[in-house]
Amino acid sequence: MNSTTLVIGGGISGITAAAELADAGRQVVLIEKEPYLGGHVAGFHNYFPKLCPPSCGLEINYQRIRSNPRISYYTGARVTAIEGGYGHYEVTITLEPRLINNRCTSCGKCAGVCPEEPKAAYIPGGLAFPMKYTIQADLCKKEACGKCLEVCPYDAIQLDACAATVEIEVGKIIIATGWSLYDAGRLEHYHYQQEQDVVTNLEFEHLLAATTRENRQLTRPSDGKVPARIAFIQCAGSRDVNHLPYCSAVCCGVSIKHALTLAEAYPDIATEIFYIDIRLPGRNEKLLERAKATGRIKFTKGKVGRIIHHNNRSGLTLEVEDVMAGGKRYDAFDMVVLAMGMTPNHIDKDLAVNMYGFYLEGQPSGIITASSCKRPMDVSSSVKDATAAALKTMRR
Amino acid sequence: MMAEKKHMALALCSGCGIGAALDTDKLTAAATGFAGNLPCMQHEALCSESGLDVLHRFTKEHEVDHLAIAACSPRVKSEEFSLTGIYVERINLREQVAWVMEPGEEDTQMCAEDQTRMALARLHSISEIRPYVPDHVNRDILVVGGGIAGLTAAREGAEAGYTIHLVEKRKIPGGYAGRLYKLSPEGAGRNTLSEPDIQELVREVQENPNINLHLETTIQSISGEPGNFTVRLQHEKEQTIGVGAVVVSTGWKPYDTNRLGHLGYGASRVKTLEEFEQYVRTDAVPGRVLFILCAGSRDKEHLPYCSSYCCSASLKQALYVREKNPDAEVYIVYRDIRTVGFQEEFYKMVQADDAILMTKGSVESVREEHGEVRVVVKDSLIANEVTIAADMVVLATGMVPNSTIDLQLQYRQGSGLPEIEYDFSDSHFICFPYETRRTGIYAAGTVRAPMDIEQSREDGAGAMMKAIQSVESVKRGEAVHPRSGDMTFPELFMERCTDCKRCTEECPFGMYDENEKGTPLPNPARCRRCGICVGSCPERVIGFADYDINSISAMIKAVDVPDEFEEKPRILLFICENDAYPALDAAGVSRLRISPFVRVIPVRCLGSINKVWISDALAHGYDGVLQIGCKPGDDYQCHFIHGSELTKKRGENLQETLETMMLEPERIRTQFVEITEHHAIVSIINAYVEELEAIGPNPFKSM
């Protein structure tokens, strides 16, 4: 019986499961497919209902990983094979080359000379973990350029690095692969592909995060102007038999958070939220009260039938079915945020899923599924479930 | 007892721009000038293979046990620079000096030299870390409350090999879920109501040899600390057990119906969800049943929050009505239907039944007359105002958490768990839902937050995980979150204690009990190592091995303060390690510019700053003291609950200190930032330096 646990997925759930286990005295290997830990939340501007920055909790968790010798982690890593069974899983991990090795000190010289735009050599901000640069292979001209090779004083650049594989044996596996946003391009009536100022909730989150990181104003993508009116379309592709029949549990909270963040930081921006039901269970009701109290966020119960796409003209007109007032109305906005739902991420192994592709609880013995790859849920619920999953791996 | 003489040394890295910004030889000379016979080494890339090789040989050769590494931030290269058997102090010359100050300038050099002296002074004055490990650590775990969360917690803990004591005040375990007629569907693709399965869980718990089930039992008292709690139980006679940690899953009760007269409660035809759940088992269901959702919920006059379970419970009961009386009609008046996740399917299924009419609306009045109940609904989807007649009305009442006072904690700060809002013993932190202010005691299920059965099960398991972790951490002598792994703990020099009670009152975690005189009685395993007691103590008798009054004072005094004619002000910056320090590092990564007049001391929490450090700084000639920490207030981000809040409060007392020293009030400043606000932290620091330059030098400089 191998006593090490493998955690697949280095987002907030996987990080939590790994740190909780290691703090309880267990050996853990954590793997993440991206070059950095943190998953979705590392790119978020803030959490609801407190409107606090996710980096704050991530930093504590990174500190737990740094100081706990029982955790090892791989980034840029994917599971390519799982063999064996309960107590002795043999796992093959493929490591994508980050083209920069562990000698990197994060001095930033490579990014300084990188001629590409966006830069091939990058680090996603000053709170990234691990604090090491990565070269994006698809943006880099490799030896044809080689400028970074010349300036790196630490022999850290390896432009010819190839994928490597690592084989490890573990006793149990936690799957915390998280979620991806539903494809907004499939909602043709909202012209996401054609209209630059129609963005997803995740893109809007990243826009807000950039304002703090770069110390600048929020601007809309098409012309770089500060938008005056922003619409939020709830259940965009959710609770919809043609797309995602289920409710993704977080999108109401996310849009209200966005509108509230705007109301507090940009008093001149007017926002309107179009919803079917406002779903903010538990104590999060307070967020709704706080949003309403600003007096600057309009809530309209109704579906947005379509966004009217004008050729050669800016501005977005929404066709709204206003349920309470009765009938249709047309309204113009400068920017539209689509509250898109969650779909589950998978690993390269057939595991039991439900009708929507989310992982079921019941899996081969010793494989535990956790958090949002199991069911749409918010951060707090994900952390809670990841902690519960950690205990399930300790079953004898 | 005299500690053996320390073998200190300094390792200096000149890589990453440090060598270009500073004269490293001069820096080494300043260090030896300060610490005397100090072995020093330099390398152009200390974290490289060759650098580490040289470092390892250097520390071995000089038998180093206390090492200052002047290089990058302690937040990076931590694996490379953790050296077995050596206490390492990292001097952040990269992110917080070389990357943020003008290279080659005299002021930059002075800053680096001061920061180095400060680190050496600290290394010199700290004591050896000897962890607090009790002689005997009890690994058994107490679960209070045998509902769904408690039963799951008990089973999962027992499966992991721990002995569990499950205490339930009733005769039959199962809690609220055990009294249900049927269950709502859980998961995708399941659209039928199911028979309650909780009895299976109860049987598993009853049959598990690792679980001691104490039914019809109450708690007389819980005293002690993680790893060593003593619990007095009362069944027929009193019994005392020892446990290492506690899961509290005491559940909820429905909202007080006496306060729902405005919704018709009191009339015979008006029932609550709980009452109707039992009613359908035995009584005939009438032809017209109306459900009022959010009855006393999402309402400032009653429960301001949403109880999460009532929408789906009401939909379930609507199906009871249809099942028991196929001719019946059902009306549901809601504000929002909150069937999140896969419950949406269940909602769609109920919606598809033509005999179940749902409308958004607000209930104006409920009156029983002529053998029926007339409900006036406003702002509905049907009309502005409509009266619906029904034979029975069901009020979907919300959840009220049971009080945790019955835990009878023998803690100076009270016998229950601290509540954060609406009487829920929840965590304040989104990323740490099991954060607790009573270390080793974790709330689970509906006593923590409104939740349904599925969530309660997950919550029970999660809280049990934290309980197990807490016991295992005590065994290793380590703190739990957020300073997990920290092996220091507060030690008190009792001879000088005046029983002023500040530490016992201000500790956010109730670490200190008190005897009748008010003398603090520490329970170190409850401690979370924030140091707020260090900051609270006017007699300065509390300290950690590597974080005490003397070590920080020594750092403050290690700075060379130029005289008033040099026009080089000195600002002491106390910076919270948790959020502000990483933000300052991020400013370095972005190469923002910070005034070289600032000298940085990281603190465990703003609340750990003792007043004496501030007067030391002002007496030593610093021109001002700036404290930067996490945000206080309702949505506080302080990891130690009220550290930042206390700092604000203590600020008032500090103003008195300034007055007695005849100094301007501006010489002390407290500011708050978020971890992502690296631009803001730079502006705060630079603006404060400018402000002090305008005020002029501290008159104590010349003394």
pLDDT tens profile B199-232: 999 999 999 999 999 999 999 999 999 999 999 9
Question: Do A358 and A384 belong to one domain?
Answer: yes
Q: How many whole angstroms separate alpha carbon A387 and alpha carbon A383?
A: 6
For the stretch B457-470, pLDDT in tens is 999 999 999 999 99
> Which among A47, A215, A396 has CB closest to B160?
A396
Q: How is domain B548-703 classified at the CATH fold level? A: Rossmann fold (3.40.50)
Contacts of B392 (CB under 8 A, 6+ apart): B269, B270, B271, B285, B286, B288, B289, B290, B373
Residues of B in contact with A323 (CB under 8 A): 360, 381
Residues of B in contact with A379 (CB under 8 A): 430-431
**DSSP label at residue A52:** B
- Predicted confidence at residue B344, as pLDDT, reads 95
Q: How many whole angstroms separate alpha carbon B436 and alpha carbon B557?
A: 37
Average pLDDT of chain A to the nearest whole number: 96
Question: Is the per-residue pLDDT at A284 higher than 50?
Answer: yes
> Is the Cβ–Cβ distance between B279 and B320 less than 8 Å?
no
Mutate to test the interface with A, among B336, B430, B481 (most CBs of A within 10 A): B430
Residues A201-206, mean pLDDT to the nearest whole number: 98
The structural architecture, per CATH, of the domain B141-251+402-476 is 3-Layer(bba) Sandwich (3.50)
For residue A363, the domain's CATH number is 3.50.50.60
Q: Does the CB of A167 have a partner CB in chain B at under 8 Å?
A: no
Question: Is the per-residue pLDDT at B1 higher than 60?
Answer: no
Could you tell me how many residues make up chain A?
Answer: 396
Q: Could you identify the residue written with the tokens 């573990």?
A: A170
Domain span including residue A377: 5-96+163-178+345-392
User: Apex CA B426: angle with CA B151 and CA B673, to 5°?
Assistant: 145
- Long-range contacts of the stretch B355-359 (C-beta < 8 A, 24+): B355/B322, B355/B328, B355/B329, B355/B330, B356/B318, B356/B322, B356/B329, B356/B330, B356/B331, B356/B332, B357/B329, B357/B330, B357/B331, B357/B332, B358/B331, B358/B332, B358/B333, B358/B334, B359/B331, B359/B332, B359/B333, B359/B334
> What is the least distance, in Å, from the CA of A386 to any CA of chain B?
8
Q: Which residues pair with B375 in a beta bridge?
A: B366, B388
- For B586, the closest chain A residue by CA position comes to A126
Six token digits for residue A100 = 């920069």
Q: How many whole angstroms separate alpha carbon A135 and alpha carbon A98?
A: 6
The secondary structure of B113-174 as a DSSP string is HHHHHHHHHHHHH---------S-----EEEE--SHHHHHHHHHHHHTT--EEEE-SSSS--
Six token digits for residue B25 = 């030889």
- Predicted confidence at residue B211, as pLDDT, reads 98
Q: How is domain B256-398 classified at the CATH fold level? A: FAD/NAD(P)-binding domain (3.50.50)
- Cβ A59–B468 below 8 Å, yes or no? no
Question: Do A217 and A299 belong to one domain?
Answer: yes
For the stretch A290-339, pLDDT in tens is 999 999 999 999 999 999 977 666 679 999 999 988 899 999 999 999 99
Interface of A with B in 14-53 (CB under 8 A): 16, 19-20, 23-25, 47, 50-53
Question: Do A27 and A169 belong to one domain?
Answer: yes
Edge-to-edge, what's the strand order for the sheet holding A88-95? Answer: A77-85, A88-95, A164-170
Q: How is domain B1-126 classified at the CATH fold level? A: Rossmann fold (3.40.50)
For the stretch B331-378, pLDDT in tens is 999 999 999 999 999 999 999 999 999 999 999 999 999 999 999 999
- Within 10 A of A395 (CB to CB), how many other CB atoms are there? 15
pLDDT band at B2 (very low <50, low <70, confident <90, very high): very low
- Cβ B340–A289 below 8 Å, yes or no? no
For the stretch A226-253, pLDDT in tens is 999 999 999 999 999 999 999 999 999 9
Is residue A149 a part of any domain in this protein? no
- Predicted confidence at residue B4, as pLDDT, reads 64
Contacts of B252 (CB under 8 A, 6+ apart): B176, B399, B400, B401, B402, B446, B447, B450
Question: Is the per-residue pLDDT at B3 higher than 70?
Answer: no
Residues of B in contact with A301 (CB under 8 A): 360
pLDDT band at B5 (very low <50, low <70, confident <90, very high): confident
Domain stop point among A303, A320, A342: A342
Residues of B in contact with A107 (CB under 8 A): 15-17
- Predicted confidence at residue A241, as pLDDT, reads 94
The H helix count followed by the E strand count for chain A is 8, 19
Domain stop point among A323, A342, A361: A342
For the stretch B420-442, pLDDT in tens is 999 999 999 999 999 999 999 99
Residues of B in contact with A54 (CB under 8 A): 431
Percentage of the residues of chain B whose pLDDT score is greater than 70:
99
Average pLDDT of chain B to the nearest whole number: 96
Is residue A125 a part of any domain in this protein? no
> Is the Cβ–Cβ distance between A384 and B433 less than 8 Å?
yes
Q: How many whole angstroms separate alpha carbon A79 and alpha carbon A10?
A: 13
Q: Which SS3 state, helix, strand or coil, does residue A16 take?
A: helix
> Is the Cβ–Cβ distance between A18 and A389 less than 8 Å?
no
User: Apex CA B501: angle with CA B495 and CA B504, to 5°?
Assistant: 105
Residue B354 buriedness (CB in 10 A; 0-12 / 13-18 / 19+): exposed
Residues A66-73, mean pLDDT to the nearest whole number: 96
Residues of A in contact with B431 (CB under 8 A): 12, 16, 47, 54, 56-58, 60-61, 379-380, 383
Q: Does the CB of A282 have a partner CB in chain B at under 8 Å?
A: yes
Contacts of A295 (CB under 8 A, 6+ apart): none
Q: Which residues pair with A174 in a beta bridge?
A: A7, A368
Q: Does the CB of A353 have a partner CB in chain B at under 8 Å?
A: no
Question: Do A296 and A279 belong to one domain?
Answer: yes
| Tally of domains in chain A | 2
pLDDT band at B703 (very low <50, low <70, confident <90, very high): low
Q: How many whole angstroms separate alpha carbon B646 and alpha carbon B147?
A: 38
- Cβ B431–A24 below 8 Å, yes or no? no
**A to B CB pairs, distance under 8 Å:** 251
For the stretch B544-599, pLDDT in tens is 999 999 999 999 999 999 998 999 999 999 999 999 999 999 999 999 999 999 99
Q: Could you identify the residue written with the tokens 């399941």?
A: B190
Mutate to test the interface with B, among A5, A28, A41, A52 (most CBs of B within 10 A): A52
> Which among B337, B459, B588 has CB closest to A277?
B337
Q: Does the CB of A145 have a partner CB in chain B at under 8 Å?
A: no
For the stretch B592-622, pLDDT in tens is 999 999 999 999 999 999 999 999 999 999 9
Question: Do A223 and A338 belong to one domain?
Answer: yes
User: Apex CA A42: angle with CA B677 and CA B99, to 5°?
Assistant: 45
Q: Measured between alpha carbons, how far is residue A138 from residues A128, A141, A142, A171, B34 in Å? A: 21, 8, 10, 36, 52
Q: How many whole angstroms separate alpha carbon B7 and alpha carbon B61?
A: 11
φ/ψ region of B456 (left if φ > 0, alpha if ψ in -120 to 50, else beta) reads: alpha
Is residue A89 a part of any domain in this protein? yes
Residues of A in contact with B434 (CB under 8 A): 384, 387
Question: Do A372 and A302 belong to one domain?
Answer: no
- Predicted confidence at residue A309, as pLDDT, reads 79
Is residue A327 a part of any domain in this protein? yes
Residues of A in contact with B338 (CB under 8 A): 277, 279-281
Q: Which residues pair with A247 in a beta bridge?
A: none
Q: How many whole angstroms separate alpha carbon B459 and alpha carbon B480?
A: 19
Q: Where are the domains of chain B?
A: 1-126, 141-251+402-476, 256-398, 548-703
For the stretch B80-108, pLDDT in tens is 999 999 999 999 999 999 999 999 999 99
For the stretch B42-64, pLDDT in tens is 999 999 999 999 999 999 999 99
User: Same CATH topology for B141-251+402-476 and B256-398?
Assistant: yes
Q: Does the CB of A247 have a partner CB in chain B at under 8 Å?
A: yes
> Is the Cβ–Cβ distance between B183 and B317 less than 8 Å?
no
- Cβ B188–A358 below 8 Å, yes or no? yes
- Cβ B675–A53 below 8 Å, yes or no? yes
Question: Do A358 and A326 belong to one domain?
Answer: no
Question: Do A86 and A204 belong to one domain?
Answer: no
Q: What is the ipTM of this complex?
A: 0.97
Q: How many whole angstroms separate alpha carbon B311 and alpha carbon B290?
A: 13
- Cβ A24–B188 below 8 Å, yes or no? no
- Cβ A60–B482 below 8 Å, yes or no? yes
Q: Could you identify the residue written with the tokens 């490579």?
A: A110
Question: Do A198 and A276 belong to one domain?
Answer: yes
Mutate to test the interface with B, among A36, A381, A395 (most CBs of B within 10 A): A381
User: Apex CA B162: angle with CA B160 and CA B165, to 5°?
Assistant: 130
pLDDT band at B655 (very low <50, low <70, confident <90, very high): confident
Question: Do A273 and A313 belong to one domain?
Answer: yes
Question: Is the per-residue pLDDT at A394 higher than 90?
Answer: yes
Domain stop point among A322, A342, A362: A342
Question: Do A70 and A202 belong to one domain?
Answer: no
> What is the least distance, in Å, from the CA of B656 to any CA of chain A?
34
Q: Which residues pair with B119 in a beta bridge?
A: none
Is residue A56 a part of any domain in this protein? yes
Q: Could you identify the residue written with the tokens 């930067």?
A: B628
- Predicted confidence at residue B702, as pLDDT, reads 67
> What is the least distance, in Å, from the CA of B500 to any CA of chain A?
33
**DSSP label at residue B382:** S
Percentage of the residues of chain A whose pLDDT score is greater than 90:
97
Question: Do A91 and A220 belong to one domain?
Answer: no
Residues of B in contact with A279 (CB under 8 A): 336, 338, 340
Q: How many whole angstroms separate alpha carbon B416 and alpha carbon B407?
A: 6
φ/ψ region of B12 (left if φ > 0, alpha if ψ in -120 to 50, else beta) reads: beta
